[in-house]
Amino acid sequence: MIGRGFWSCVVLAVFFAGWSTLDVARAAGQPAPHGPNKSKGQEKTKAVPHVTPQREAAAMKFAHQYHPELVALLVYLKENKAREYHRAVSDLSKVSERLAQIESRDAGRHKTELKSWQLKSRIQLLTARLRIDPEDDALRAQLEKALTEQANLHKSVLLAQRRELAAKLKALDAQIEKSEKDRRKQIERQIESLVRRKKKDGKNPGPADGKPATATRPAPKTFPQPDIPGSPPERPQVPEAVSPT
């Protein structure tokens, strides 16, 4: 007689890797059900995911550390179902890498994301086991507890987001209030800054009326004339204005 632990691994493999009914029957050593084997032809067309030894070791370490119940499944898949094993290892390594990236940026968020993954994985495991024995009240109670924890975690994430948004709104309100109080001073400073900038831009301003200045011809050089008795005094020469071109 096949033990419950073996069936747990088989049903969990179905749940995670998408085994067909024929695969389950063969893994259990039972006759295959009637009907065409559609998944067998599809299985031939699927490429086996390539997993390096480093990623395989990292995935197994991750499973041992954060979800030990998956280790037995991985061992079973490795010995009996290489394609599903590599797919599972690939998925676990991606999760591990994503969480490592989050941890390097935000330790608090990493803790929440890790807890979320653990709950999701445990819910999948309990669901698979409960499908074997729907009348198992203990499994049903564990599933209910896990789902409750998942709901509480989701609520805590939403509350944290609300606190973060409330803090941002409070900071914006303080900036608006400060801007209202200092508005007059800010405008005066802007005026002074604009005026100083204008003076620097025009160091040699023209006439106030905006008309160009009239150029004057330099006065010709004159030499003193001897005074002749009885002659009228010489009139001073006035420089002629030069019209602008």
pLDDT tens figures, 38-79 = 444 444 445 556 778 888 888 899 999 999 988 888 888 888
Asked if residue 213 lies in contact with residue 207, where contact means CB atoms within 8 angstroms, the answer is yes
pTM beyond cutoff 0.75: no
Report d(CA 170, CA 204) in Å as an integer: 50
Q: Residue 98 — pLDDT band, cuts 50, 70, 90?
A: very high
166 φψ region: left (φ > 0), alpha (ψ -120 to 50), beta (else): alpha
Asked if residue 111 lies in contact with residue 72, where contact means CB atoms within 8 angstroms, the answer is no
Sign, Cα dihedral of 160, 165, 168, 169: negative
Quote the tokens at residue 235. Answer: 């009139």
pLDDT exceeds 70 at position 215:
no
Cα→Cα distances 130→118, 140, 222, 223, Å: 18, 7, 124, 127
Cα→Cα distances 34→22, 25, 38, 75, Å: 9, 11, 12, 29
